[in-house]
Amino acid sequence: MPRTLILLMLSLMPCGFACAAGDRPREIADPAEAVKDFDFAVQGEYIGEGLWSDGEKTKVGAQVIARGKGQFDVVVTRGGLPGDGWKRGEPRFTLSGKRDGDITKLSGQDFSGKIDGPAMTIVGGDGKVELKLKRTVRHSPTEGAKPPEGAVVLFDGTTAENFSNGRMSKDNNLMSEVTTKRKFGDYTLHLEFRLSYMPEARGQSRSNSGIYLHDCHEIQVLDSFGLKGKNNECGGFYQLRRPDVNMCFPPLTWQTYDIKYTAPKYRDGKKVANARVEARHNGVPIHPKFELKHDTPGRQAEGPAPRPFYLQGHGNKVQYRNIWVKEK
């Protein structure tokens, strides 16, 4: 979400609410700290098979979203997980989960079930649905991708000197709220990001960042795990286009963007060609080549190349690594 909108919203709120530290949802950026929360072991992705309501045996996926204090949303998708069998528009349903000791009980829409360790079971009240799943952890096929010959390596974990305001975490990742010192025109970009674990946060407050290509076109970085995949959620170009599929992994999992960007073209001070972009999230195509007809709020207006790109901070501790650019 653009910073200008957030600042406007905060300016309209009483300071006693906006400024109280106790009102901010807890944010955990360290995986070693997150495992101390019992809910963290329950949230995540599950894969399996079983009988759907039509009596057909099918592959099935489930995404379990931690909502804090032992509460969960469970999104069940027919065909598998998003990007691995399930596609936008295909059958899915949502259950509620509540942790009771070591067991998480599932209910809703005439379904019942449980999560016990890595195993999930779901049954329908009519006896037709019977699903069995196991917890899984997916990794992007482009995680750790090596820069091709001639690429500009902007961050490899050794220094943040290629970024204005560059800062590194204790485990040598790049912290958000930085801008590249170098400027670019047309290029292919690879970067990896890790979202914080914020179970009590909601919406745009849930581990928010963003990548402003050309310092004016934002592709969202946000904990949108299990959500519908709108243009203001992870993978979306804010106000311009939603991702074809929501490929957001659970928080504290390393994720990848692989983006081909063509800058807008200008002649005599007037734009003669729109910017164009093509993007993959965690190795899955989420945007075919399409035109970015205007800038998005929060940074500069559109303009001619070359320009830097910006990794938005938004007050959260989103971290980045393995950032390189191959110029055309």
Q: What is the mean pLDDT of each run of 10 residues along the chain (328 residues)?
A: 45 37 82 97 98 93 98 98 96 97 94 97 90 98 98 98 97 97 98 98 94 98 97 96 98 98 97 98 98 96 97 94 97
Assign residue 231 a region (left: φ > 0; alpha: ψ between -120 and 50; beta: otherwise): alpha
**The pair of three-digit structure tokens given for residue 272, joined into one six-digit string:** 């003669």
Q: Tally the domains of the chain.
A: 2
**Global confidence as pTM:** 0.91
The pLDDT of residue 21: 46
**Domain end (from 109, 136, 163):** 136
Shared domain check, 161 and 132: no
Is 141 within the bounds of a domain? no
Shared domain check, 274 and 131: no
**What is the C-alpha to C-alpha distance for residues 53 and 125, in angstroms, rounded to an integer?**
11
Shared domain check, 132 and 88: yes
Contact predicate 68/126, CB 8 Å: no
**What is the C-alpha to C-alpha distance for residues 169 and 32, in angstroms, rounded to an integer?**
14
**What is the C-alpha to C-alpha distance for residues 266 and 269, in angstroms, rounded to an integer?**
6
Q: Provide the terminal-to-terminal Cα distance of the chain, rounded to the nearest Å.
A: 30
Shared domain check, 186 and 317: yes
The pLDDT of residue 5: 46
Amino acid at residue number 211: I
Shared domain check, 247 and 116: no
The pLDDT of residue 23: 74
290 Cβ contact partners less than 8 Å away, ≥ 6 residues apart: 241, 276, 277, 278
Beta bridge partners of 312: 210
Amino acid at residue number 237: F
Shared domain check, 118 and 211: no
Number of C-beta neighbours around residue 58 at 10 A: 15
CA proximity to 296, closest of 221, 216, 178, 186: 216
- DSSP letter at 258 equals E
- Alpha-helical runs (H) found in 131-265: none
CA 30, 36, 37, 38: dihedral to nearest 10 degrees?
140
Is 196 within the bounds of a domain? yes
Is 144 within the bounds of a domain? no
Is 53 within the bounds of a domain? yes
CA proximity to 120, closest of 110, 111, 250, 128: 111
**Which range of residues forms the domain containing residue 50?**
33-136
Which whole-number Å values give the CA distances from 117 to 18, 83, 99, in the listed order? 39, 25, 11
**What is the C-alpha to C-alpha distance for residues 174 and 178, in angstroms, rounded to an integer?**
9
Contact predicate 249/225, CB 8 Å: yes
CATH number at residue 61: 2.40.128.120
Backbone angles phi, psi at 64, to 5 degrees: -105, 115
The pLDDT of residue 24: 81
Shared domain check, 201 and 55: no
Shared domain check, 181 and 113: no
**What is the C-alpha to C-alpha distance for residues 283 and 113, in angstroms, rounded to an integer?**
32
**The pair of three-digit structure tokens given for residue 24, joined into one six-digit string:** 């901010």
Shared domain check, 187 and 307: yes
Is 4 within the bounds of a domain? no
**What is the C-alpha to C-alpha distance for residues 236 and 255, in angstroms, rounded to an integer?**
15
Amino acid at residue number 253: T
CATH number at residue 195: 2.60.120.560
Q: Kindly report the length of the chain.
A: 328
Shared domain check, 118 and 156: no
Shared domain check, 194 and 128: no
**Domain end (from 81, 111, 136):** 136
